[in-house]
């Protein structure tokens, strides 16, 4: 991407979008455009079409999405499938119709089957049943990547699709109702430390294994692939290693400095038993993650402490 090219980042206030804006600025890009929800409702086709017709972005990063953890997906399934289908359909179509040179669609590793072979390769998509607790979001994301592939095949539109693993970092959602596991645990341990609570309860058995990628690493991978990847096939973005939720809780407890007990609530769902991405396609193109998990959690906790009312 030329440094003076007009680049539209949809979802610039979110965890991923804000990281991509930071990475673009650090790389010297000078024409980054963004819009808040009040300025352009991405679920409204007319507003999106009007925005693209007037701004004519040359490159588009589709990081806008309605996201959340197990609980949020469980209680608001209609919102998760409806809003995400509308957002991505509106943006992909408007980008093509208004001459964008390239679009990057950000999916999620939850698109893969619940019991996919581990580590999960890109070709495992649609080979089995989804995890029920987030199927609404996953179905929407699968539709998005398929739309990118369809527009490439029928119209020659250069759209690529990245499938990131579990993300975390500065600007994450730390709300205990809708947050993903890592930021939720950071907040739980932090509040328990402040209040002197004798124990912290963690959802599930602690045995599921997860892979975690710092969002700044995802941003760097996104820029790398915008410059070096032009294929229809989806591409996984992750670190290639995972840990159990119990191990994650231990690391967070140590970083936060909480001295109480940790208990596991087995009445709460575990979700997918394991979700580790095979990132050999990405590493084979010359990119690997650079931020270690402990380093990333420590910096994220520092951001949370400095930006949270807790």
pLDDT tens digits, 84-118: 999 999 999 999 999 999 999 999 998 999 889 99
Q: Stretch 31-59: mean pLDDT, rounded? A: 98
**Digit-coded pLDDT (tens) for 148-180:** 999 999 999 999 999 999 999 999 989 887 778
- 107 annotated to a ligand binding site: yes
137 a catalytic residue = yes
| Candidate list 59, 96, 112, 137, residue with the active-site label | 137
- State the Cα–Cα distance between residues 193 and 199, nearest whole angstrom: 10
Per-residue pLDDT for 308 more than 80?
A: no
- 109 annotated to a ligand binding site: yes
Minimal CA–CA distance to 20: which of 213, 166, 220?
220
Please state the φ and ψ torsions of residue 112, each to the nearest 5 degrees: -85, 155
Per-residue pLDDT for 68 more than 80?
A: no
- 13 annotated to a ligand binding site: yes
Q: Is residue 72 very low, low, confident or very high in pLDDT (cuts 50, 70, 90)?
A: confident
Q: What token pair was written down for 287?
A: 């990119």
Q: Which residues contact 153 (CB under 8 A, 6 or more apart)?
A: 232
Q: Stretch 178-184: mean pLDDT, rounded? A: 87
- 262 annotated to a ligand binding site: no
Q: Is residue 59 very low, low, confident or very high in pLDDT (cuts 50, 70, 90)?
A: very high
- 210 annotated to a ligand binding site: yes
pTM: 0.94
- 106 annotated to a ligand binding site: yes
Q: Is residue 309 very low, low, confident or very high in pLDDT (cuts 50, 70, 90)?
A: low
- 302 annotated to a ligand binding site: no
- 84 annotated to a ligand binding site: no
Q: Is residue 253 very low, low, confident or very high in pLDDT (cuts 50, 70, 90)?
A: very high
Assign 3-class secondary structure to the chain: CCCCCEEEEECCCCHHHHHHHHHHHHCCCCEEECCCCCCCCCCCHHHHHHHHHHHCCCEEEECCCCCCCHHHHHHCHHHHHHHHHHHHHHHHHHHHHCCCCEEEEECCHHHCCCCCCCCECHHHCCCCCCCHHHHHHHHHHHHHHHHHHHHHHHHCCCEEEEEECEEECCCCCCCCCCCCHHHHHHHHHHHHHHHCCCEEEEECCCCCEECEEEHHHHHHHHHHHHHHCCCCCCEEECCCCCEEHHHHHHHHHHHHCCCCEEEEECCCCCCCCEECECCHHHHCCCCCCCCCHHHHHHHHHHHHHHHCCC
- Per-domain residue ranges of the chain: 6-171+211-241+274-291
- 97 annotated to a ligand binding site: no
- 16 annotated to a ligand binding site: yes
Minimal CA–CA distance to 182: which of 207, 214, 205?
214
Q: Which CATH architecture has domain 6-171+211-241+274-291?
A: 3-Layer(aba) Sandwich (3.40)
Per-residue pLDDT for 310 more than 70?
A: no
- State the Cα–Cα distance between residues 249 and 141, nearest whole angstrom: 29
Q: Stretch 218-233: mean pLDDT, rounded? A: 98
Minimal CA–CA distance to 157: which of 221, 203, 194, 103?
103
**Complete edge-to-edge strand list for the sheet that includes strand 6-10:** 31-33, 6-10, 59-62, 102-106, 159-164, 235-237
**Digit-coded pLDDT (tens) for 277-307:** 999 999 999 999 999 999 999 999 999 999 9
Question: Exposure string (b/e) for 9-38, b if CB count within 10 Å is 16 or more?
Answer: bbbbebbbbbbbbebbeeeebeebebbeee
What pLDDT is stored for residue 278 in this prediction?
Answer: 98
What pLDDT is stored for residue 2 in this prediction?
Answer: 95
- State the Cα–Cα distance between residues 282 and 211, nearest whole angstrom: 16
Q: Is residue 134 very low, low, confident or very high in pLDDT (cuts 50, 70, 90)?
A: confident
């Amino acid at each position: 991407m030329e440094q003076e090219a007009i680049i539209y980042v949809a979802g610039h206030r979110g965890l991923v979008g804000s990281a991509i804006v930071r990475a673009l600025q650090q790389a010297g890009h000078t024409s980054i455009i963004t819009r808040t929800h009040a300025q352009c409702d991405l679920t409204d086709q007319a507003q999106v079409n009007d925005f693209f017709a007037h701004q004519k972005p040359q490159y588009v990063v589709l990081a806008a999405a309605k996201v959340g953890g197990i609980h949020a997906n469980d209680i608001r399934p209609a919102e998760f499938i409806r809003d995400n289908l509308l957002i991505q359909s509106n943006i992909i179509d408007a980008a093509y119709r208004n001459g964008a040179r390239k679009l990057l669609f950000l999916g999620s590793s939850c698109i893969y089957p619940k019991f996919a072979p581990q580590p999960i390769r890109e070709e495992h998509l649609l080979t089995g049943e989804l995890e029920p607790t987030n199927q609404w979001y996953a179905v929407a994301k699968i539709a998005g990547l398929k739309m990118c592939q369809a527009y490439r095949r029928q119209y020659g539109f250069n759209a690529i699709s990245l499938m990131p693993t579990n993300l975390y970092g500065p600007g994450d959602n730390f709300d205990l109702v809708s947050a993903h596991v890592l930021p939720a645990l950071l907040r739980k341990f932090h509040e328990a430390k402040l209040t002197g609570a004798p124990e912290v309860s963690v959802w599930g058995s602690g045995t599921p294994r997860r892979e975690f990628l710092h969002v700044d690493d995802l941003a760097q991978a996104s820029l790398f692939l915008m410059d070096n990847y032009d294929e229809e096939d989806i591409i996984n973005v992750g670190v290639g290693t995972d840990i159990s939720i119990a191990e994650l809780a231990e690391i967070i407890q140590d970083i936060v400095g909480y001295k109480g007990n940790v208990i596991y609530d087995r009445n709460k769902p575990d979700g997918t038993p394991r979700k580790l991405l095979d990132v050999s396609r990405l590493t084979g193109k010359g990119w690997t993650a650079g931020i270690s998990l402990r380093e990333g959690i420590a910096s994220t906790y520092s951001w949370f402490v400095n930006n949270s009312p807790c």
